[in-house]
């Protein structure tokens, strides 16, 4: 008799866990489908984009300033990760061609230049939406293709690294690559 009770309790617990898991997934799917793609996957061809939201307080200017500051911080983080990916590629190349490479070639100059170039980032889109029943003001900030290329050129120039045009093209593609975005997504997930 006691064994049947234990089996029933374990079965009920397993069913409850399955139902809770399904309910959680359903909520996520619903929330995700309500958010516009420009918030979930901000993108600008040839440039860098980031979207962030701030809880709606009723003060449009204040909320926009907050969301914009958050988006600019996210842009800075993206640039940092992209420079790290570019730096890894360069070190790998130098390491295989010339022996051993030390230090961060591009990372050391990128932080100062990132702050300078973020001044050129602008708000591309603003919208008030509801996320999980809460009003949010969301913005998408972008660093357009010309500004992105100028940032890259300034990083290379200030690093005093001599690159042939082919190497520079490869590094620029690495700087803009989806792999860098994937590394950023991974870092952000680890922070949560």
Q: What is the pLDDT of residues 18-36, one digit of tens each?
A: 555 555 544 444 444 568 8
Beta strand extents in 32-190 (DSSP E only): 48-55, 122-131, 134-143
pLDDT band at 12 (very low <50, low <70, confident <90, very high): very low
Task: Output 58 or 97, whichever has higher pLDDT.
Answer: 58
Buried b (16+ CB within 10 A) or exposed e, 23-57: eeeeeeeeeeeebeebbeebebeebbbbbbbbebe
Question: Using the 8-state DSSP alphabet, how is residue 103 labeled?
Answer: S
| CA distance readout (Å), 29 to 37, 39, 90, 130, 131 | 14, 15, 40, 15, 12
Place of tokens 């660093």: 143
């Amino acid at each position: 008799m006691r064994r049947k009770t234990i089996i029933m309790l374990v079965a009920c617990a397993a069913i409850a866990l399955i139902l809770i898991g399904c309910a959680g997934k359903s909520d996520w799917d619903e929330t995700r489908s309500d958010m516009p793609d420009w918030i979930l996957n901000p993108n600008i061809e040839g440039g860098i984009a980031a979207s962030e939201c701030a809880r709606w307080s009723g003060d449009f200017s204040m909320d926009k300033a907050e969301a914009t500051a958050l988006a600019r911080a996210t842009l800075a983080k993206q640039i940092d990760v992209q420079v790290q990916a570019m730096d890894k590629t360069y070190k790998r190349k130098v390491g295989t061609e010339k022996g051993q490479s030390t230090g961060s070639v591009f990372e050391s100059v990128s932080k100062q230049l990132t702050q300078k170039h973020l001044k050129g980032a602008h708000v591309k889109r603003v919208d008030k939406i509801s996320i999980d029943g809460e009003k949010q003001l969301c913005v998408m900030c972008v660093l357009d293709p010309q500004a992105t290329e100028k940032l890259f050129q300034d990083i290379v120039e200030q690093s005093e690294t001599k690159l042939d045009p082919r190497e520079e093209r490869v590094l620029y593609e690495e700087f803009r690559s989806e792999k860098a975005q994937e590394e950023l997504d991974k870092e952000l997930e680890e922070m949560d």
